[in-house]
Amino acid sequence: MPEPLPTSQAGRTLQRLLRRADARWALLALGLIGALALLGPLLSPWGTETLDWRHLAQPPGLTAAHWLGTDRLGRDLYVRTLSAVRISLLVSLLASALSLVIGVGFGAVAGFVPGRTGVWMMRFVDVLYSLPYLFIVIILTALLPRGSLTVLLLSLGAVGWLTTARIVRGETLALKQRPFIEAARALGVPPARIVVRHVVPNLLGPVLVYATLTIAQMILFESFLSFLGLGVQEPRASLGNLIFLGAQELESATWILLVPAGFLVALLLALNQLADALRDALDPRAA
Amino acid sequence: MLSYALRRLAGLLPTLLVILTLSFAILRSAPGGPFDQEQALSPQVRANLTRAYGLDQPWPRQYLHYLRGLAHGDFGPSLRARDFTVRELIAQGLPVSATLGACAFALALALGLPCGIAAALHAQRGTDRVLAVLSALLLALPSFVIGPLLALLFGIGLGWLPVAGWQPGGGRFLILPALTLGLPVAAYLARLMRASLLETLRAPFVRSAQARGLGPLRVLWRHALPPALLPVVSYLGPTLAFLITGSLVVESVFGLPGTGRYLVQGAIDRDYPLVLGMIVVYATLTLLLNLLVDLAYGWLDPRVRHA
């Protein structure tokens, strides 16, 4: 029986995406990690901050009391890593959403308004661009009170939007020349409505690809900051501070590093792969 | 060309000023002050310190004072490391960071470009597949994961190299950090090089060069490679600046006395002149390197050569 052809643009893209083996693997891995992060801790009798004095720095084992071992304080690594993945995903998804909203809004407006305003808006982005995100994020998180997830979220979101804004502005400038925008303008549709109804929906493709990359980048930034002691604070677990602890115990207990590092690498690998596949699926000529 | 370069150089100053003003405003509006964390500081001593460093003055005056010093090459005193000026601190750390960055950069170029070219020439075949998997893996490995892993393998497992630490003139201490810093950049460069070379290899001017009977090496070297290098070059400028000053995590993983720690510790301690000094150095480097990239563009691509 022939597959019914999806009529929508999104349906066709999804079909092309799922035809690729690497995209299926990436989606499967992301789904698994997500499900584990949500439900996994329920399967274990241990809590994230329970200290098990009889099992300090215990190596992993399926029959052991702690499946993925424990750290120097006897805290269960399985539960801690999964709760760290949960926090990382939460922070990075929200920060990505925030930076996307700012980036799309800023870029679309800068591309659409006539005259020099748009140029000046982008000049502002260029200036911020000459400092890398991490510099700004580090300064912001070091200055603001530490340990608050809201602060972390806001600092990440506040700097992640620059590239999105650039991409969106470029696309908007191209879209502006298209007949249907001109038609809308000729019909007297107000500019704000043109941006919301006609420009933004047409930007979704490139934005979607970049969003996947943004999520990976945010996960990376969050763990980077937590590794430096600027992000999520102990006793709360984050992939960054777990890896930091693991790096201290390198010589005696390698699993304390390898367990959270494995999850982080798997997450980043899957997201990068998905973004690659998505880019090809959206642009069939490039594949 | 020279007048263009000079004009661009002059254009950097306003940008630098905007960055500085923004950073100054952000730093100063943050709660807390440089003398907060010290124990039992009597109000009198505290007031004296504040006055001695001019922190009791209104902000605009402090800012102008800082700018005036900066114009004379004076970065001001460090508010925490009291016996040092910011200039001395940066002069201590920068050589280490710069050496590390330069090594990582050389490694990334030496590894990334040939791999990218090889992958493009053997597209969709064995070499290409292996390199694609390798680069995807390296790009998903953050420096704070690769660093400890390399230390585990070469430092603890094989015992070839020191796990961490630093001795002046100790090249052995730089190998693992340079690998940590350079490998992901190499992976990214290889990808960029591959994609860009694949595109130029399909271009009509390359086909016409082949049709004229030129050897494959000559076609690659003289015709396909220069335009294919453009996107690579534009990525190199910011990367080099990042490698030289931004090796923050690598320095902390391997315990190297570079400039990375100044930024984090300086911001935590509210050591305003230290953080501002780092920003000045970093921003100047980035802007200069971006300018160099723009000039290199003209050299590689005659179409954008500046009159």
Cβ contacts from A onto B, under 8 A: 103
Q: Cβ of B152 under 8 Å from any chain A Cβ? A: yes
Which of the residues A120, A143, A218, A257 would you substitute to probe the B interface, choosing the one with the greatest number of B C-beta atoms within 10 Å? A143
Torsion of CA A108, A111, A117, A123, to 10 degrees: 90
Which residues, in sequence order, are CB contacts of B174 under 8 Å at separation 6+? Answer: B99, B100, B103
pLDDT tens by residue, B91-116 = 888 888 888 888 899 999 999 999 99
Of B27, B148, B282, the CB nearest to A257: B148
Contact predicate B162/B186, CB 8 Å: no
pLDDT tens by residue, B221-232 = 888 888 888 888
pLDDT one digit per residue (tens) for chain B, 307 residues? 677 778 888 888 888 888 888 888 888 887 777 777 666 677 788 788 888 787 888 888 888 888 888 888 888 888 777 788 888 888 888 888 888 888 899 999 999 999 999 888 887 788 888 888 888 888 888 888 888 888 888 877 777 777 777 776 667 778 888 888 899 889 989 988 998 888 888 888 888 888 888 888 888 888 888 888 888 887 887 677 667 755 778 888 888 888 887 887 888 788 888 888 888 888 888 788 878 877 777 777 666 655 4
Q: Coil, strand or helix: which one is B105?
A: helix
Of A140, A145, A264, the CB nearest to B145: A264
Say whether A246 and B147 touch across the interface (CB within 8 A).
no
Closest listed residue to residue A77, CA positions, set A66, A88, A64: A66
Contact predicate B32/A144, CB 8 Å: no
Q: Which fold has domain A31-44+75-281?
A: MetI-like fold (1.10.3720)
Phi, psi dihedrals of residue A70, rounded to the nearest 5°: -130, 165
What is the C-alpha to C-alpha distance for residues B221 and B89, in angstroms, rounded to an integer?
45
Q: Cβ of B133 under 8 Å from any chain A Cβ? A: no
For chain A, give every domain's residue range: 31-44+75-281
* Domains, chain B: 86-306 (1.10.3720.10)
Contact predicate B23/A139, CB 8 Å: yes
CB atoms within 10 A of CB B93: 20
Which residues, in sequence order, are CB contacts of B209 under 8 Å at separation 6+? Answer: B218, B219, B222, B223
Contact predicate A88/A238, CB 8 Å: yes
Taking each helix axis as running N to C, give the angle between helix B143-150 and helix A204-227, from 0 to 180 degrees, rounded to the nearest 10.
50
Say whether B142 and A223 touch across the interface (CB within 8 A).
yes
Of A223, A228, A269, the CB nearest to B137: A269
Which tokens is A184 given?
Answer: 């809308």
